[in-house]
Amino acid sequence: MSVGTFNRIALDVTGETTYGTAVVTLDKSYPVRADRPVINVETVNDQDTLIGALENGLQSIVTKVTATQTIEMDARLDALATFGKFGFGKLATTGAGPFTHTITVGTSAAERALSSFTNVFQDAFNASGKAWQFPGTKVSRLTIAGEAGGKVTMSVDVISGKPVLAASGAQDEQTLTLPAFLGLTVDPILAMARVSTFTVSGASFLNQLKSFEFVFENVFDEAAEMAAGSIMVPAMERTGFNVSGSFTLKADASVAVFSMIDTYMTKIDSATTLGIQALPEIILAIGGGTTGHSVTITVRAAALADGSVAGQRGKLEKPITFTGMYDVGDSEAARMVVINAQAAVSYQ
């Protein structure tokens, strides 16, 4: 999907105070694998202006413009904290080397609606240094995935308004000096090389884990629109979110893998534990063995769905999907905690 492995995006991690802030302060830049954002134009026919002429539907009015983009990158500590904040809605930082960044959905009106940021994208081979600006960008989906023996990756789906110049609001490209890539003392890719903990209901299945995927998806109400120049763009108020994912376990050497789903199904079938009390907690911790650098994703209450046991002789695998639910007495369906031992970088 990419035109090069050194495409860049840049943004202000504090976010916009209002939709499409005129002055953009870029302070983070990430190497990504991504194509230029796709500009989506919605139109309606305006045939009333063609009275007495052949009505062929070519006369139309642009009613809404949005831009969508999928950004792929290695699961860097800094990018996980930044996009986790914009995807979930709230980031609280404590400490000072190591920093602990706790990312949750949040309860205030602004946190629930999600703050926007200006997404600045530059093609890998653009010698002129020109870049597109997309104000009012919000994270629609955050996906973190990996396989045994491979690097953990992150995919971020974003939606925003039309590309404009920050100073004038006119649609155009302009030359921008993007911030340098963030250089951590500890290589962020090495620090995110492998899964270090995977538990379901407190039982570890790390040795059996073959692959996993965690998806946090926002639901937007695009009915409310506001003008950007002469074209309407959606305000995109978040009205809900979904937590889901899947994992595949190697089942040939572990009776526990086979018994896990049976135990879970027995619990939820019991009249005394029917409901969310029986749902297991899933904890996925990612790190490369470096003290003080890690990411932990917790799904507070996961409704499991058993997949088929597939494989060849002696090599069985058990795929399981899950849906994150609200825990009893807690509004969090999921949370993410990023720990960074470098005191010079807070990501906030």
DSSP-assigned letters across all residues of 79-114 = HHHHHHHHHHSEEEEE-SSSEEEEEE--SSHHHHH-
Q: How far apart are CA 253 and CA 55, in angstroms?
A: 70
Domain of 77, in residue numbers: 7-42+61-168+178-340
Structural domain contains residue 78: yes
Domain contains 121: yes
- Give a yes or no: residue 49 inside a domain: no
Q: Is residue 47 one of the residues assigned to a domain? A: no
Query: SS3 of 183, please?
Result: coil
Q: How far apart are CA 330 and CA 300, in angstroms?
A: 9
β-sheet bridge partners, residue 204? 199
Q: Which of 191, 246, 240 is nearest to 220 (CA)?
A: 240
Rg (CA), the chain: 23
Closest by CA to 153, choosing from 195, 185, 122, is 195
Q: Would you say residue 345 lies in a domain?
A: no
- Number of domains observed in the structure of the chain: 1
Is residue 160 in a domain? yes
Backbone angles phi, psi at 2, to 5 degrees: -105, 155
CB-CB contact of 154 with 125 (8 Å): no
Q: Note the Cα 245 to chain centre separation in Å.
A: 13
Which stretches of the chain are DSSP H helices?
77-88, 109-113, 188-191, 255-268
- Per-residue pLDDT of the chain in tens (348 residues, 90 and over written 9): 444 456 888 888 888 877 666 556 788 888 888 887 888 887 776 655 555 555 555 566 777 778 899 999 888 777 888 899 999 988 898 888 788 899 998 878 878 888 888 888 887 666 667 778 888 889 999 999 988 777 888 999 999 877 665 555 566 666 777 777 665 555 555 555 678 889 988 888 888 898 999 999 999 887 666 665 556 667 778 888 999 999 988 876 566 777 777 777 666 666 555 456 678 889 998 875 456 788 899 998 888 887 666 555 556 778 889 999 875 555 688 999 988 877 777 665
- 55 in any annotated domain: no
Give a yes or no: residue 52 inside a domain.
no
CB 112 within 8 A of CB 238: yes
